Amino acid sequence: MSSSTVEAFYEGQGIPVELTEVEQALDQLWGPAAEKAGGPELESPAVTRVVLANVVIVHFGSNRPEMEATIEAITTQYPSRMIVLRHDPGAGRKLLTEVSAQCHLPAPGRPQVCSEQIILRTNVEGRDLLPGAVRSLVESDLHSVLWWCDDPREAPDLFEQLSGEATRIILDLPDPETDPASLAAAIEPGGRQSARDLVWFGLTAWRSLIADQFDSPATGNLARIASVRVRSIGKETNRPHRAAAWLIAWLAGQLGWKPEGSPRFKGKGRVEAAFRGPEDSVDVIIESEPGESISRAQIAEVEIRLRPEAQTATTLRIQCDGQGTCEICVIDAAGQGCAFPRLVKVPVPETTHSVSAALLTDRSDPPYHRALPITLWLLGC
């Protein structure tokens, strides 16, 4: 390989190769300066080549700005052999292959940590060639993650084959643009226990924030919850945002609430629904607001109303600005304003956090499985 080709490879530029020559090309491109994790130590390696898993990314649709952030997050948080499947209308029934390095600097003075990216491009008529190609490229002694970014109903055979060979499936479907039925289609057949909606992992801070509030005597116990309102912001309001549905479903699943009747869809992303709690009924509302600059829907406000007792506090309101600051307010029974105001710092919503949690969280996740059917119900599936 010429020095210019090797330089382009390390800079992340795709180097065209034949599918059958991928491994040979990678060995030549990495060269003698690359130290492989777990391999023999080199005296002064220029880079350390790390492969913790196989990550197969399927993204046939149009480019999404957040996908670059997703790939960068995988590279830094969980260096893997990434096999990316893309659509190419000019490929016909062929697989066009290219390889590149994905590198980051872990600390000043240390060698770059790098992993490899293999891109396979084909047209619709060549998609049946992809499962075999992927099998020939995965590292057999490592587990495989399927990162699916399109409606699985548009390539059901491919989704079925690749998901059947994956140890974990991450559904990276735009929220709120994606039809909720596509989420149901990806999860329901056969009850895929390894499938996760990426939106779920973006709610970790909110789940912790809500749970922390009920440690306070001012808000009383969880059995007093009478209603929950969640307001979210996203690109569209044609349908409710999955982020809001997941948050309510998490709370319902943890507290043993059972759906009653059917959700009422009021238009502009508003949903009203009722649950039966262990002691009484609970009403929930999802409100959706537009925000053109937001790539993924975000929770902006949660309001939890408590049934009045001797305590004066009846409503807990949490409002977050999306920049890492949340205001927590406990409103008294008379509704005269915030009785116990305070500000707390939370992690700013970032792709890195969601991607890291999706890849590193234990596969056994009871709260997720309890919330899943409730989420689908709230979304009308």
Per-residue pLDDT in tens (0 to 9) along the chain, 381 residues: 788 898 889 888 999 999 999 999 998 888 765 544 445 454 555 678 889 999 999 999 888 777 888 888 888 888 999 999 999 999 989 999 999 999 887 767 667 888 999 999 999 999 999 999 999 999 989 999 999 999 999 999 999 999 999 999 999 999 999 999 999 988 875 566 789 999 999 999 999 999 888 876 555 578 889 999 999 999 989 999 999 999 999 999 999 999 999 999 999 999 999 999 988 999 999 999 998 788 889 999 999 998 876 555 588 899 998 888 999 998 876 666 776 788 999 887 788 888 888 888 777 889 999 999 999 999 998
pLDDT at 336: 66
Residue with the two structure tokens 């005296």: 43
Angle among Cα 241, 243, 244 to the nearest 5 degrees reads 75
Torsion sign, CA atoms 205, 211, 217, 222: positive
Residue 117 CB partners (closer than 8 Å, separation 6+):
12, 71, 82, 83, 84, 99, 100, 101, 102
Rounded to two decimals, the pTM is 0.90
User: Could you tell me the two tokens for 72?
Assistant: 């960068």
Distance CA 122, CA 104 (A): 29
DSSP state of 219: G
pLDDT at 134: 97
Chain center to CA of 114 = 23
Distance CA 118, CA 100 (A): 7
pLDDT at 335: 63
pLDDT at 218: 52
Residue 82 CB partners (closer than 8 Å, separation 6+):
55, 56, 57, 71, 74, 75, 102, 115, 116, 117, 118
